[in-house]
Amino acid sequence: MIGFFLKKNFFDSWDHFLPLAGFNIVLILIVFLFFILVYALSSIPLLAFCTLGAGCLVFGVLLLTISNMTAQIADYKSFSIKDIMEEMCQVWLHGSLFAGLELLSFALISITIPYYFALKNFLGFFLGISVIWIFIIIQLSLLWFFPIRSRLESNFRKCLKKCFIIFFDNTGFTLFMVIYSLILIGLTPFLAFLMPGFSGLLLAWNNAFKLRMYKYDWLEQHPEIPLKIARKQIPWDELLAEDRETVGTRSIKNLIFPWKD
């Protein structure tokens, strides 16, 4: 499954280079604009802080909008500028809520960690380490928020709940995706920040979630098999057959000169 995921994600990224790069350019411009505003308002700390917070909320809305578009790509569909605007109008609340939740979690850990370690005793050390691990688990779980919201669940609370369900049920795969995401981030500067960037990351997580959901569909269709046994018998070749046929195979010549195929 992982091998096919890497192949599909690469082909999807290649085939949609221009829209994905366009998304990244917009995100870079938005971030640059808000940093300029924050710098200009640095003499008024409260106003600068509010501007930074507003920028984070806008960024959250844009990320969720782009996630919905990359979910379309993962499903072999196309989209237009009109579709992008419509999606933005639909997801602005959940995008800003997610960004606000992340801001709150980072604010809390920045306060609690120094406080607990400042106690300089065993209890403080224990609580500090516990908070760090809780924070890590929350962040790893929330990595699934965008694909779940884009592909599966429109209820914000249920979406957050499913983030943790997916993480605990796919911990190893989540860690693999984290490593893969770090590699994509490392490649971004070498491609002039056009790719993979945030849009490439969102496409990767949507592709990963799309393929991973086949497992749950199969388990639901075979309730007669004990769950513990069924999890070890997932027929990935069968489940991915249609996608393998759709993605196909390509040579380097086909990738660079597709019209000569």
pLDDT of residue 257: 55
Q: Report pLDDT for 99.
A: 96
Question: Would you kindly state where each structural domain of the chain is located, as residue ranges?
Answer: 2-260
Please compute the mean of the pLDDT values over residues 242-259 and round it to a whole number. 74
- Between the alpha carbon of residue 127 and those of residues 56, 117, 131, the distances in Å are 29, 8, 6
pLDDT in tens, 46-101: 898 899 999 999 999 999 999 999 999 999 998 999 999 999 999 999 999 999 99
Termini Cα distance of the chain = 27
Q: Which residue has the higher pLDDT, 57 or 253?
A: 57
Stretch 156-178: mean pLDDT: 96
The pLDDT of residue 226 = 83
pLDDT at 202: 97
Query: Structure pTM?
Result: 0.93
pLDDT digits (tens, 9 = 90+) for 5-52: 999 999 999 999 999 999 999 999 999 999 999 999 988 888 988 999
Q: Using the 8-state DSSP alphabet, how is residue 259 labeled?
A: G
CA distances from residue 113 to 104, 105, 118 in whole angstroms, order as listed:
14, 12, 8
pLDDT-based confidence at residue 222 (cuts at 50, 70, 90)? confident
Pseudo-torsion of CA 220, 221, 223, 229, nearest 10°?
-80
Asked whether the beta carbons of 175 and 143 are under 8 A apart, the reply is no
The two tokens of residue 93 are 């609340």
